[in-house]
Structure formats: C-alpha cells, structure tokens
C-alpha cells in the first residue's frame, strides 16, 4: 500500500512540474522592462509592434521559441525561458536574458 501511495505522489509531483505549452495568446499585450518604464512592444495576434520604431513584424511561435519574420524572412529568434500572465523572460543571442512585465492587455 505504501508503494502505491508513493508511486501516486511521484506521478502527481512530476505532472505538476511539466511545463505549460506556451501559445501566442499567452504573449498578447503590451510589455515593458519594468512597471516603471515605458512600453517596449505590443503583441497583437501574430504581430509585434515596437514603440520606438512603430514597425509591425510577424511572429511565429514553435515550441518555446519565438521567431521574428519580416515579409516571411527570418530576422531573429528568442527562446522563451518563462511566460506567465504578467511576466516574460526571453533568452536572445544565445545567452542574453531579457525580462519584461505586462503593463496592459
């Protein structure tokens, strides 16, 4: 009986550690480096618009990697390290970690 209980607890622990599949819906909104700073970009649908440049570019999400496209051509990609309803942590250029907070839906 103890073995069965232990196995059930292990399965539950592993299931709770399974990462949530990230979708573009999770990334929708306006993001800034901190709540005290101006917006860096907005994601609407599959489009990202940077506020400084006011240029809209297409986003493609595959697994936990976001690919930035311009006229269908690859420009850049970022690995999503963490995405919650109000925070986004990206790894760019292989090792640089950039953190954002959602300031608006």
Tell me the pTM: 0.77
pLDDT band (50, 70, 90) for residue 5 = very low
Q: Are 66 and 57 in contact (CB under 8 A)?
A: no
Residue pointed to by tokens 């292990």: 10
> What's the CATH class of domain 21-104?
mainly beta
Listed range (12-16, 37-41, 87-91) with the worst mean pLDDT: 12-16
Sketch the domain layout of the chain as residue ranges: 21-104
pLDDT of 53-91, one tens digit each? 878 899 999 889 999 998 889 999 999 999 999 999 999
pLDDT given for residue 7 in this prediction: 43
User: E strands along 20-95, which residues?
Assistant: 29-32, 41-44, 47-50, 55-62, 65-70, 73-83, 87-92
Cα separation, 90 vs 22, in Å, equals 13
Residue 63 CA to residue 68 CA, distance in Å, equals 14
């Amino acid at each position: 009986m103890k073995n069965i209980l232990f196995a059930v607890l292990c399965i539950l622990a592993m299931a709770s550690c399974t990462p949530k599949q990230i979708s573009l819906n999770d990334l929708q909104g306006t993001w800034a480096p901190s709540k005290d700073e101006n917006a860096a970009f907005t994601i609407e649908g599959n489009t990202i618009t940077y506020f400084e440049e006011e240029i809209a570019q297409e986003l493609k999400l595959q697994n936990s990697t976001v690919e930035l496209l311009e006229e269908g051509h690859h420009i850049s990609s970022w690995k999503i390290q963490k995405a919650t309803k109000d925070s986004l942590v990206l790894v760019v250029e292989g090792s640089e970690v950039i953190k954002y907070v959602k300031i608006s839906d």
